[in-house]
Amino acid sequence: MTAQIIDGKSCAAGLGDRIAESAADFRRDAGRAPGLAVVLVGTDPASEIYVRSKGRMARQLGMESFEHVLSADTTQEALLDLIAQLNADDTVDGILVQLPLPGHLDSLSVVEAISPAKDVDGLHPLNAGYLASGLPGLVSCTPLGCLMLLKETLGDLSGLDAIVVGRSILVGKPMAQLLLAENCTVTLAHSRTRDLPQKVGAADIVVAAVGSAEMIKGSWINPGATVIDVGTSRVIRDGKKELVGDVEFATASIAARAITPVPGGVGPMTIMCLMHNTVLAAYRRAGRPAPQLG
Ligand code: NAP
């Protein structure tokens, strides 16, 4: 049997259409577009590409994009001042500070300074707490995108056994909370987990978020399982640079029921969920009923 390949690009395009419609409705009713401010400190080339593509995507979907590029030696105080200005600016609905920050800056206090209502990355401890408490907040973009892919593929997730491999604040922990809220029975695995192959093999849903090239083997996967591969690692294969996931795709795509490719799976959903969160934040801040987009 060969697994269904879950098409993240097409799922993201569908979500994008719904976001564009909601952004247009918001613009008509509120007299302004939803606004996303992206802050970049320094000149890391990968971060520059991410920031540019986020701005471009926001504009394509009919939103306002405010890009703030600060020099690598920006002080903590100057960065916090900018965040305070953005918090107070009514035309800004979402604030994203591109991580990682240069080493002399304290990321946690920067994230904590963002108004939770504008925290479209979903990293503020208050938003993490809302998620854990089952209250509405803003959810980290990558796990939100993974959940949308799972629901698109499987429909109702209630009662399914899920394993999330990796327990970061960015991906693993919010992913486990989202699956729990969908009534899955969740195992949250990490570097100290014993007998990972057996635990992966018992799961209907496997979400891999480790960052270790192809560490999860196809032979571990239950034939009925749906696999969401968040990991991205650059490897050299046959003398060529390749991007691979945490799951050994060649074998897992035969073993599983459905699987996301890398690239083209989770990645396109992550950026689209940032747009989703920006529109959601705009509606909530304006006191309007939030559209159902996901
Ligand atoms: P992270 O903060 O480095 O966390 C990695 C997690 O993996 C940790 O919880 C760690 O456990 C666990 N781990 C490490 N080795 C393990 C092992 N042998 N067995 C089981 N668990 C193990 O990484 P992250 O930020 O969550 O990102 C994970 C991956 O997803 C990276 O490749 C990243 O590039 C990718 N990513 C992709 C997207 C996208 O849009 N496609 C978005 C975000 C992240 P401990 O806690 O015990 O150390």
136: left (phi over 0), alpha (psi -120 to 50) or beta: beta
Task: Pick the closest to residue 185 from 165, 155, 163 (CA basis).
Answer: 163
Q: CA 134, CA 130: separation in Å to the nearest integer?
A: 6
How far is the centre of ligand 1, averaged over its atoms, from the C-alpha of 192 (Å)?
13
Tell me if 212 CB under 6 Å of ligand 1. Answer: yes
Tell me if 197 CB under 6 Å of ligand 1. Answer: no
Q: What is the pLDDT of residue 123?
A: 97
Produce one character per residue of 250-271: b if its CB has 16 or more CB atoms within 10 Å, e if not: ebbbebbbbbbbbebbbbbbbb
pLDDT digits (tens, 9 = 90+) for 15-52: 999 999 999 999 999 999 999 999 999 999 999 999 99
Q: Is 121 a catalytic residue?
A: yes
DSSP code of 288?
Answer: P
Q: What is the pLDDT of residue 130?
A: 98
Superfamily of domain 141-267: NAD(P)-binding Rossmann-like Domain (3.40.50.720)
Q: What is the pLDDT of residue 152?
A: 98
Q: Is 4 a catalytic residue?
A: no
Tell me if 263 CB under 6 Å of ligand 1. Answer: no
Does residue 294 surpass a pLDDT of 90? Answer: no
Burial of 27 from C-beta contacts in 10 A (0-12 / 13-18 / 19+): middle
| Four-residue CA torsion sign, 118, 119, 120, 126 | negative
DSSP code of 159?
Answer: T
Mutational test site, ligand 1, from 96, 148, 165, 168, max ligand atoms within 8 Å of CB: 168
Tell me if 56 CB under 6 Å of ligand 1. Answer: no
Domain with CATH 3.40.50.720 in the chain: 141-267
How far is the centre of ligand 1, averaged over its atoms, from the C-alpha of 172 (Å)?
7
**What secondary structure does DSSP assign to 54-112, as a single string?**
HHHHHHHTT-EEEEEEE-TT--HHHHHHHHHHHHH-TT--EEEE-SSPPTTS-HHHHHH
Tell me if 260 CB under 6 Å of ligand 1. Answer: no
Superfamily of domain 30-123: Leucine Dehydrogenase, chain A, domain 1 (3.40.50.10860)
Which atom of ligand 1 is least distant from the CA of 266? 41
Q: Is 54 a catalytic residue?
A: yes
| Four-residue CA torsion sign, 54, 60, 61, 64 | positive
pLDDT digits (tens, 9 = 90+) for 55-97: 999 999 999 999 999 999 999 999 999 999 999 999 999 999 9
Percent of the chain scored above 90 by pLDDT? 98
Which amino acid residue places its CA nearest to atom 5 of ligand 1? Answer: 210
Strands 205-208, 64-70: pairing kind: unpaired
